[in-house]
Structure 1
Amino acid sequence: MTKIAIVVGSTRPGRVGDSVAQWVHGIASQRDDAQFDIVDLRDIQLPLLDEVAPPSFGQYANDHTRQWSALVNSYDGFVFVTPEYNHSTSGALKNAIDFLYGEWNNKAAGFVGYGSAGGARAIEHLRGIMAEVQVATVRNQVMLSLFTDFENFTTFTPQAVQADAVGPMLDQVIAWSTALKPLRTAAQETSAVA
């Protein structure tokens, strides 16, 4: 079965990303076409990128990198739940992506953003980052406003219409993750022979 990670992209104290991820997971769990797990970067606790070799070499010196590599490698696709900080995504999420390269290749990603502009600018930055690590990003996205989907900017109270946006985004992530599987399989076979 296709495995999709819902990645909590904020590690900040007082964050709201975990409640957003739980909401997405609740909607996703009603489906039977994929397995969905929450991956919380706060639990992963990656330091700032501390590998000597570039990630594209796949030569990891640190246990935390090898563990992160195995976790990311186990998924077919991703839903990134991202805050918008200063017109971009969080440093923690960017750092987590930068740790790896091949583990991301030929997978798909969707986005759930939140912020004063619905996380739109964070999502746009993530699209460029994902392209560089060979992840296909889907068109449909979910944009949550701090003004209308949160009470006092902290308690997640999404408008009913927001749930309607999650399904089409998941449809695309699952379809693309499944469609890209032959490319992932071919790459794994090639690396096993090399």
Structure 2
Amino acid sequence: MTALRLAVIIGSTREGRVGDRIGRWFVAEARRRVGLAVHELDLAGYAFPAALPAARTPAMREFAGEVARAEAFVVVTPEYNHSFPASLKQAIDVAYDEWQAKPVGFVSYGCRSVGVHAVDQLRTVFTALHAMTVRDTVGLDLLDGEPTGHAEERLRQDVRLLLDELSWWGLALREGRAARPYAC
């Protein structure tokens, strides 16, 4: 069976962010998993325009193409003021049909909330795009520092569970898309 193409989207572009480190940690964990072809999409590397133009720019076309090629997603997001960053919303809006009938999981981080408010709002956005969000998430509390011992093992268990769900849904939806076009 062909490996499931998983795109890990690093959603923060803020200077001094920790999202790149968290995203790369997750990518390393996911690459240990047999059956996944993991690709990192760091939004800091895309020059999206400040306003969405009528026609996609080269950066927009490139990102939408990456979304089209992926079969499952993990969005790495901070929580800023009980929401997710504008850079992530802009990137999500660059694609539309490319998200349809594909699963999305979340790795979130924040101070005490572990990013749950951002994830709740992202679930609504991805549902509107006809994507399927998985139940379990990986959440990190930035005030706890580097996880060690039991906390580190709990995070690895959360990663395994998230990847189990994404793999199941990703393969099921791959078969579904191959059998019949998605109707929306």
TM-score between the two structures when normalised by the length of structure 2: 0.89
Alignment CA distance shift 1:33-1:13 (3 Å) = same
Match of 2:140 in 1: 144
1:96-150 deviation per Cα after TM superposition (whole angstroms, max 9, x unaligned): 00111101101001001000110000000000001011110001101110111x3
1:20-48 deviation per Cα after TM superposition (whole angstroms, max 9, x unaligned): 01111111111112111111000122223
Task: Trace 1:1-194 onto structure 2 (pairs within 5 A).
Answer: 1-52=3-54, 60-116=55-111, 117-148=113-144, 150=145, 157-158=146-147, 159-160=151-152, 161-185=154-178, 186-187=180-181
1:13-72 deviation per Cα after TM superposition (whole angstroms, max 9, x unaligned): 0000011011111111111121111110001222234232xxxxxxx4422222121111
* CA distance in 2: counterparts of 1:183 and 1:51, whole angstroms: 33
Conserved in 2, the CA contact under 8 Å of 1:49 and 1:98? no
Conserved in 2, the CA contact under 8 Å of 1:105 and 1:184? no
* CA distance in 2: counterparts of 1:19 and 1:89, whole angstroms: 17
Letter of the 1:141 counterpart? T
Unmatched segments (≥5 aa) in structure 2: none
Identity %: 34
The number of aligned residues is 175
SS in 2 for 1:71: helix
Letter of the 2:143 counterpart? F
Unmatched segments (≥5 aa) in structure 1: 53-59, 151-156
Output the aligned Cα RMSD: 1.6
